[in-house]
Amino acid sequence: MKSRLILVMLLLGLACMAGATERTHTIQPEDYFTQIFLSDVVVSPDGSQTAYVELRWDKEVDGRFNDIYILDNKSKEIRRLTFGAKNENHPRWTPDGEMIYFIGRYLQEGATQPPQDGTAQVWRIHADGSNLQAVTKVGDGIGSFELAADGSSIYYTVAREQMIDDFRELRSRYKNDLEFGHGIDEVTELHRLDLTTWRSEMIADPGRFISEFAVSGDQKYVAMLTTPNEHNVSAEGWSIVQVLDTATGDLTTLPDKQWREDAPSPYGWLGNLAWSEKGHKLAWNIDFDGYPAWVFATDLAGGLTDVAIRKLNRPDDVSVMGGIQWTPDGKSVTYLGDYHARTHIYSASFTSDETSNLTPGDVVVGGYDFAGSRGDLIAYQSTLIYYQDIVYYKKGRFDRLTHLNPQVDSWKLPQTSIYKWVGAEGDTVEGILELPPDYDGKTKLPLLLALHGGPTSAEPFCFQLWIYGRASFAAKGYAMLSPNYRGSTGYGDDFMTDLIGHENDRDVTDIMTGVDALIEDGIVDPERMAVSGWSNGGFLTNALISSNRFKAASSGAGVLDMTVQFLEEDTPGHVINFAEGLPWENPEEYQKASPLYSLKPGIKTAVLIHVGENDPRVPVTHSKGLHRVLYRYLDVPVELVIYPGAGHNLTKYTHRLAKVQWDHAWMDRYVLGK
């Protein structure tokens, strides 16, 4: 144990040395809303400029809005293209770099017709910010769009209603007055708009929902991921890869044996279609709850018969996290991959087992694009001293191009390190440990144990001021441990799949052995500890309530009963995978994994419960049930906070502010005794 403590203290010393710049501001929870966040980084065809989307919180609109900016990659100058709460996104450059097409939702007072009625439409604007123009005027709006590589046309999806024949007359009669479990679905058509003649035509109607599509460089093919309807459950095992031949109109479904019949679970999600810049190579990934994701690729140069699909290699311990692209030479596929709390860009050869890490180091990459034909990269990433800035990668080294959150330079940052201990199966478990900026290792600290969701995800090793406690609790004198427990990404396939059939078991042991290690190392006061989490983190928080190891808990959108979760959530494949079967096939596992059955008289932990009123992922039933049990039957200090109209994620400014204020007030009272 001493070696672990020495490692931690060494890291703390290095963190203090690195913080030589004077920092005077103590982080407050409300500082979260001052930050700029990024998405949709797209480089111009000549590699000289980068379009990207900024997300900012706005108290006046009670939410956050998106705007498009352009960065000059050489001078580092930034130009804003769009203004206001129109939620512009998905920018796409024209081949000459003169204009950008994007999706905007513009609402003009009194407008009842598109494009100014608030529906999603394709717009375009010159790169200098002039000549904003609506491109589509589709009633009820479009779903998604892509600009052809030569700039001659755009492709977009349009939704329509599809009704099954059974009881069609009754469904039609009452569809505006009643809801039905199935039978009235949303499916989508694919349309093409010629940007010279301005004529549009429907080019595909698969009778299914097009969740994603991508157009080949020469427009010969359009690849589509389709599901029976718009519901998330339809993507779990019922999604397929279809390729449209635009000349003939023929639609071919690619063989799926490798990611369905041969996969460890039938409930995988397809995503991230990507064509090579030249030729007809296509790549995508399959993602599972509880099992490793994989990247597949094929070359359709020989046509759509006898298609050979290759499963691409990936390094040990690396978990595929999406972001699929082809390298400019078309020889390899790149993707975002988690590795020990970092996120890098990896490449996998299409013809061999060769793989490489294109962005080494302690970085957490959020998105990227290629800059020119040499393979240089523009990415947005986070490190221990900033969260999400744009960088330029050349031969594995990066130059920081933006400084979007200068206020962070004056913040007293937590001392952040990778903390390691021995977990459930005798192997190493890691977590992100945040300690107060001025901590000298001489006193025992109160602990906030923060549990990430998923569980097929990971807590990142970077600076992060987040509504789930990162940075803000260390600023108040807490130690904060965020364990990457069993089932997390980036620690190898076995570490991930060891959780199958062992929820509320091996993950809990991994977590609590980490807590015990902190206590043994003299960092944490065992009499002042709290636990929190959202989604799967809320589920694990519920599982730990009955241990009475914690003075307080904050349970966000957490599962209480696995059978209820299977019956109500929008992605039930998650439950089936971890329980290794349906409820009637493995009822013991459903009960064993459910925190409900561990609740009993004598619980002392004060529990704060958060949930969105319309959460489809972890329905409000769980939170209401937990409140009822603790409040009515067990006489435990408890509060239930329901966010009106909210889903699984809180998207309103007031909701996120209320969440952090409730958490801090709750911990102040029940952990610190204030």
Both structure tokens of 50: 């980068």
User: What integer best gives the mean pLDDT of the chain?
Assistant: 95
The span from the CA of 579 to the CA of 595, in Å, is 14
Mean pLDDT of 231-240: 94
533: containing domain: 411-670
The span from the CA of 328 to the CA of 585, in Å, is 49
SS3 575: helix
Query: By the 8 A CB rule, do 336 and 325 touch?
Result: no
Query: By the 8 A CB rule, do 23 and 413 touch?
Result: yes
Both structure tokens of 652: 């309103």
- Confirm whether 549 is domain-assigned: yes
Model confidence pLDDT, tens digit, residues 321-330: 999 999 999 9
In this predicted structure, the answer to whether residue 375 has a pLDDT above a threshold of 60 is yes
- Confirm whether 604 is domain-assigned: yes
- Confirm whether 488 is domain-assigned: yes
- Confirm whether 63 is domain-assigned: no
Mean pLDDT of 396-422: 97
Q: Up-side HSE of residue 452: CA atoms within 13 Å toward CB?
A: 23
Model confidence pLDDT, tens digit, residues 427-453: 999 999 999 999 999 999 999 999 999
Mean pLDDT of 523-548: 98
Both structure tokens of 316: 């040990």
- Our CA angle for 103, 106, 108, nearest 5°, is 165
E strands, 164-301, in order: 184-194, 200-204, 209-215, 221-227, 240-245, 251-253, 269-275, 281-287, 294-299
Model confidence pLDDT, tens digit, residues 44-68: 999 999 999 999 999 999 999 999 9
- Confirm whether 570 is domain-assigned: yes
For residue 369, the surrounding DSSP H or E stretch is: strand 364-371
pLDDT band at 374 (very low <50, low <70, confident <90, very high): confident
The span from the CA of 292 to the CA of 338, in Å, is 11
Contacts for 136-144: CB closer than 8 Å, 24+ residues apart: 136/193, 137/113, 138/114, 139/114, 141/105, 141/114, 142/103, 143/188, 143/210, 144/90, 144/103, 144/212, 144/213
Query: By the 8 A CB rule, do 118 and 127 touch?
Result: no
The span from the CA of 485 to the CA of 506, in Å, is 8
Model confidence pLDDT, tens digit, residues 313-357: 999 999 999 999 999 999 999 999 999 999 999 999 999 999 999
Query: Which CATH number does the domain housing residue 508 bear?
Result: 3.40.50.1820
- pTM metric for this prediction: 0.94
User: Which pLDDT belongs to residue 418?
Assistant: 98
Q: Count CB neighbours of 356 within 10 A.
A: 15
Q: Tokens 């076995």 identify what position?
A: 494
Q: Count CB neighbours of 396 within 10 A.
A: 12
Mean pLDDT of 174-188: 94
Q: Count CB neighbours of 130 within 10 A.
A: 9
What one-character DSSP code corresponds to residue 44? -
pLDDT band at 648 (very low <50, low <70, confident <90, very high): very high
Model confidence pLDDT, tens digit, residues 602-647: 999 999 999 999 999 999 999 999 999 999 999 999 999 999 999 9
Mean pLDDT of 220-232: 97
In this predicted structure, the answer to whether residue 3 has a pLDDT above a threshold of 50 is no
Q: How many structural domains comprise the chain?
A: 1
Find the DSSP H helices in 129-265.
Answer: 168-174, 235-238
Q: Count CB neighbours of 24 within 10 A.
A: 7
Distances (CA, A) of 497 to 273, 289, 291, 507, 627: 26, 10, 6, 11, 32
Both structure tokens of 228: 């029976």
- Confirm whether 185 is domain-assigned: no
Residue 261's identity, in one-letter code, is E
Q: CA nearest 105: which of 140, 80, 73, 151? A: 140
The residues with which 70 forms a beta bridge, in sequence order, are 51, 79
Mean pLDDT of 193-198: 98
What one-character DSSP code corresponds to residue 631? I
The span from the CA of 179 to the CA of 164, in Å, is 15
Query: By the 8 A CB rule, do 444 and 522 touch?
Result: yes
Torsion angle in degrees (nearest 10) through CA of 571, 577, 582, 585: -170
Query: By the 8 A CB rule, do 611 and 604 touch?
Result: no
SS3 38: strand
Span between the terminal Cα atoms of the chain, in Å:
33
Q: Count CB neighbours of 460 within 10 A.
A: 22
What one-character DSSP code corresponds to residue 503? T
- Confirm whether 8 is domain-assigned: no
Give just the sign of the alpha carbon dihedral 660, 664, 670, 671: positive
Mean pLDDT of 290-305: 96
- Confirm whether 94 is domain-assigned: no
Mean pLDDT of 502-513: 98
pLDDT band at 484 (very low <50, low <70, confident <90, very high): very high
The span from the CA of 170 to the CA of 191, in Å, is 31
With 0-12 CB in 10 A as exposed, 13-18 as middle and 19+ as buried, what is 314? buried
What one-character DSSP code corresponds to residue 7? H
User: Which pLDDT belongs to residue 21?
Assistant: 66
Q: Sort residue 257 into left (φ over 0), alpha (ψ -120 to 50) or beta.
A: alpha
Both structure tokens of 188: 């989508």
User: Which pLDDT belongs to residue 586?
Assistant: 96
